[in-house]
Structure 1
Amino acid sequence: MNTNSAVLLLAHGTPNVLGEMAEYLSRVTGGRALPHDVVEELQHRYAQIGLGETPGAEPPPLTKWTLAQGRLLEGLLDGTPVYVAMRNWHPFIADVVAKMRADGITHIKAICLAPQNSRTSIGLYRQALLSATADMEVDFVPAWADHPLLVQAFAEKLWPVWALACAQSGRRVPILFTAHSVPCRTVMTGEASIEGARPGTLAQSTPDPYAVEARRTAALVAERLSVVGLTERDWHFAFQSQGMSGGPWLGPTVEDTLNALKDEGHVGVVMQPIGFLCDHVEILYDIDIAFREIAGELGLQLWRAESLNDSPVLAQALAQIASANTSATSANQDEAATPNAV
Structure 2
Amino acid sequence: MLGVLLLAHGGPSSLEDVPAFLDRVRGGRPCPERLVDEVRERYRFIGGASPLPDITGRSARKLEEACKLPVHVGMLHWHPFLEDAISQMVLDGVSRALVICLVPHFSECSVGRYHRRTTLAADERGLAFDFIDSWHTLPPYVDGLADSIVASRKELRDEPGAQTHVIFCAHSLPKAALVAGDPYELQLWETADRVAARLGLPQEEWTVAYQSASGPGQDWLGPSVDELILELSERGTRQVVLCPFGFVADQVEILYDLDVVVKQKAGDLGVAVTRTPLLNDGSALIDSLALLVEQWRG
Fold-level similarity (TM above 0.5): yes
Contact preservation (8 Å) 2:7, 2:75 = yes
Q: For 2:198, give the aligned amino acid.
A: R
* Counterpart in the other structure of 2:258: 287
Partner Cα distance (1:255, 1:71) in 2: 37
Q: What's the secondary structure of 1:164's corresponding residue?
A: coil
The residue that corresponds to 1:62 in the other structure is 52
Moved more, 171-180 or 110-119: 171-180
1:171 is matched with 162
**Secondary structure at 1:83's aligned position in 2?**
strand
Measured in 2, the distance between the counterparts of 1:170 and 1:62 equals: 39
Partner of residue 199, structure 2: 225
Q: Going by fraction, where is helix more abundant, 1 or 2?
A: 2
Partner residue in 1 for 2:65: 75
The aligned counterpart of 1:30 is: 27
The answer to whether the aligner puts 1:251 opposite 2:222 as a matched pair is yes
Tell me, in whole angstroms, the C-alpha distance in 1 between the residues paired with 2:177 and 2:267.
33
Q: Distance in 2 between matches of 1:224 and 1:50?
A: 36
CA distance in 1, matches of 2:160, 2:176: 40
SS of 2:109 mapped into structure 1: coil
Contact between 1:72 and 1:312, CA under 8 Å: does it hold in 2? Answer: no
In structure 1, the gaps of 5 or more residues are 53-59, 191-205, 328-342
The CA distance in 2 between the partners of 1:99 and 1:165, in whole Å, is 47
**Distance in 1 of aligned mates of 2:182 and 2:165:** 28
Q: CA RMSD in A?
A: 1.6
After superposition, give the CA deviation of every residue in 1:167-208 in whole Å (9 maximum; x if it has no partner).
257634111110000111112xx2xxxxxxxxxxxxxxx232
Match of 1:318 in 2: 289
Q: CA, structure 1 residues 119+167, in 2 after alignment: closer, same or farther (shift >3 Å)?
A: same
Corresponding position of 1:297: 268
Higher relative CO (Cα under 8 Å, sequence separation at least 6) belongs to 1
2:187 paired residue number: 213
TM-score by length of 2: 0.95
Indicate the residue corresponding to 1:203 in structure 2. none
**Deviant stretches of 4+, over 6 Å:** none
The question of whether the paired residues in 2 share the 8 Å contact of 1:151 and 1:220 is answered with yes
| Unmatched runs of 5 consecutive residues or more in structure 2 | none
Shift of 1:273: 0.3
2:212 equivalent in structure 1? 241
CA contact (8 A) 1:139 1:326 kept: no
Q: Say if 2:84 is the partner of 1:95.
A: yes
Q: Which residue of 2 aligns with 1:339?
A: none
Distance 1:141 1:40 in 2: 36
Which SS does the other structure have where 2:207 is aligned?
strand
